[in-house]
Amino acid sequence: MRGRFITFEGIDGAGKSSHIEPLAARLRCSGHVVLVTREPGGTPLAEQLRDALLHTPMDTLTEVLLVFAARRDHVKQVIAPALARGETVLCDRFTDATFAYQGAGRGFDLAQLTALETWVHADVQPDRTLWFDLPAELAAQRLTGARPPDRFEQQSPAFFERVRTGYLARAEAFPKRFVQIDAAADRESVGRQVAAALEGHI
């Protein structure tokens, strides 16, 4: 049986990444074979593209094409084979991030993103998406003092509010797949929300 494909989304500073490994550990304890991966990244080539995306100035079309090139390699080399083996794939960001960051954040044409999505991975779509939602101002406070900011983390709270609105639009378009997590809550509460969001879905 095909495995489950679970994605984790949210603006920078939402705290999603710190919940993925503990979740993977719990799932492994209950007998799942779990693959944890991330975007952009997840293969040697896609990790090189990630480095360019995060640190090299470029226009938005270039950004979109690099994100989807990285995604193509990741889906083909890693995600699709793992799902075919029946594994549970936990992926830190996927195509919803492109709609939110490049689409809502940068203003890139959403119809063109949809065309690329169909071209690159029409046959591989997340089964469930956990959207870690919180106000941009709060996320910015959490990021302050962390490592030096990359090209995205340097953006203004106004940019991240647009990204957040982009996630909201995706959640409304795919209500069965998306689960909104209140990421402003304390860590234990977020952990409980994550577990509840996956109950009966893995």
Q: How would you classify the pairing of strands 88-92 and 34-38?
A: parallel
Scanning residues 110 to 169, which ones bind ligand TYD (CB under 6 A)? Answer: 152
Candidate list 19, 34, 79, 92; residue touching ligand TYD; CB under 6 A: 92
Burial 44-71 (b: 16+ CB within 10 A, else e): eebeebbeebeeeeeeeeebbebbbebb
Q: Which of 27, 37, 40, 194 binds ligand TYD (CB under 6 A)?
A: 40
Pairing between strand 178-182 and 34-38? Answer: unpaired
Q: Residue 17, interface with ligand TYD (CB under 6 A)?
A: yes
Q: Binding ligand TYD by CB under 6 A: which of 4, 74, 93, 170?
A: 93
Q: How far is the CB of 40 from ligand TYD (least distance, A)?
A: 5
Degrees to nearest 5, angle at CA 161 with 159 and 167: 110
**101 makes contact with ligand TYD (CB under 6 A):** yes
* Bridge-based pairing state of the strands 5-10 and 34-38: unpaired
CB-wise, 30 or 132, nearer to ligand TYD?
132
Q: Which is nearer to ligand TYD, 14 or 34 (CB)?
A: 14
Q: What are phi and psi of 108, to 5 degrees?
A: -75, 145
Considering the complex, what minimum distance in angstroms separates the CB of residue 178 from ligand TYD? Answer: 16
Q: Which of 20, 27, 89, 97 binds ligand TYD (CB under 6 A)?
A: 97
* φ/ψ (deg, to 5) at 136: -60, -35
Q: Write out the residues near ligand TYD by the rule CB under 6 A.
A: 12, 17, 39-40, 67, 92-93, 97-98, 101-102, 152
